[in-house]
């Protein structure tokens, strides 16, 4: 065809294989950097949860500077956090709403931590509150926090300690003082369950979701579902983990089970089975959910928003799923 000149393309586009390879290399390295900050790991790629640093106790009498009182203490919590949720559940079961106030913080991907919905103690972030309690504090700023308004400091930031205090040290202000979630005769059994549930379920779901090697994930996932199967067997013959009455072991398990089908099943790759699919665990979860005041502590939308919206390394697009349908929790047990 005379008179027609073909225009040569300048340069060549990168072949798809190279684009994919480069993208994978860049994202993997960025992901590993972000995960190292979000989820400390050992050499095998297993998630290692750092220890809590504030471990003082409120105790009647004795030499403790922290004495039980109404209006003196505040719980700083995040509605999506299962560890903070424990403290809300015990506060509700004991009827301590009037004695201990609650202030809500929300996770912020932009600031990289928890921020106050409205300023507290002239602080806008939880990190600032930690620094107020301990100048030059350099550790993790986590919820829950049991705050003493009188001395302007953190009493305790370990949920396992806080729920023991709420159970026993505020009975003179509680609407339900007779309820004992940690009876002396069951302490050994409760602690045995607590150790197993913490390692393989409460923290186990995080060990699945934050695993940085296939081997670490496989190990955590096997331990998680082996333990859930064991609990399922126990609940076939028992209403609660330690018998006919609810204990702190049930509270500690409940807040993970509530989140399981909502976020851990999908986002954390704990997808061998839903809690809804277990015959006895599903009834157990419904029973706990329907106890007086407990449902009011459960915020499904906050759970989804806090996990899917803020754990960027696990969900880069930030898309929050519309499901699952959790209405079965309201069915008769």
* CB atoms closer than 10 angstroms to residue 248: 27
* Secondary structure class of 115 (helix, strand, coil): strand
Do 301 and 259 meet the contact criterion of CB atoms below 8 Å apart? no
How many other CB atoms are there within 10 angstroms of residue 113's CB atom? Answer: 17
For residue 275, the 8-state DSSP code is G
List residues with catalytic annotation: 81, 206
Q: Which two tokens stand for residue 306?
A: 């806090």
Q: How far is CA 187 from the centre of its chain?
A: 24
C-alpha 264: how far from chain center: 11
Burial of 138 (0-12, 13-18, 19+ CB in 10 A): exposed
Here the contacts of 168-171 (C-beta below 8 Å, separation 24 or greater) are 169/58, 169/59, 169/60, 169/68, 170/58, 170/68, 170/70, 170/94, 170/96, 170/99, 170/100, 171/94
Residue whose token pair is 């409120």:
58
Tell me how far apart the alpha carbons of residues 29 and 240 are, in angstroms, rounded to a whole number: 45
Provide CB contacts within 8 A for 97, sequence distance 6+: 91
Tell me how crowded residue 287 is: count the other CB atoms within 10 A of its CB.
18
């Amino acid at each position: 065809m005379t008179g027609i000149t073909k225009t040569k393309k300048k340069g060549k586009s990168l072949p798809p294989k190279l684009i994919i390879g480069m993208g994978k290399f860049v994202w993997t390295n960025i992901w590993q950097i972000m995960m190292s900050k979000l989820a400390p790991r050992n050499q095998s790629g297993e998630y290692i949860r750092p220890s809590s640093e504030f471990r003082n106790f409120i105790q009647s009498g004795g030499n403790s500077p922290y004495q039980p009182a109404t209006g003196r203490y505040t719980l700083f919590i995040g509605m999506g956090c299962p560890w903070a949720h424990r403290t809300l559940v015990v506060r509700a079961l004991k009827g301590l709403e009037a004695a201990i106030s609650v202030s809500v913080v929300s996770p912020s991907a932009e600031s990289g931590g928890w921020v106050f919905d409205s300023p507290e103690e002239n602080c806008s972030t939880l990190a600032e509150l930690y620094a107020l309690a301990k100048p030059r504090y350099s550790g993790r700023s986590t919820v829950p926090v049991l705050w003493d308004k009188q001395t302007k400091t953190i009493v305790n930031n370990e949920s396992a300690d806080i729920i023991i205090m709420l159970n026993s040290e505020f009975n003179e202000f509680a609407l339900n003082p007779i309820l004992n979630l940690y009876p002396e005769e069951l302490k050994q059994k409760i602690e045995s369950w607590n150790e197993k549930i913490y390692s393989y379920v409460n923290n186990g779901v995080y060990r699945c979701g934050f695993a940085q090697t296939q081997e670490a994930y496989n190990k955590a996932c096997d331990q998680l579902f082996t333990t859930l199967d064991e609990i399922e067997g126990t609940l076939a013959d028992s209403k609660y983990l330690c018998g006919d009455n609810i204990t702190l072991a049930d509270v500690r398990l409940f807040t993970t089970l509530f989140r399981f089908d909502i976020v851990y099943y999908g986002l954390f790759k704990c997808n061998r089975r839903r809690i809804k699919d277990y015959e006895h665990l599903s009834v157990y979860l419904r029973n706990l959910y329907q106890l007086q005041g407990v449902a009011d502590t459960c915020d499904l939308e906050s759970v989804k928003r806090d996990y899917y919206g803020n754990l960027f390394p696990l969900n880069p697009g930030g898309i929050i799923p519309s499901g699952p349908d959790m209405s079965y929790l309201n069915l008769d047990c």
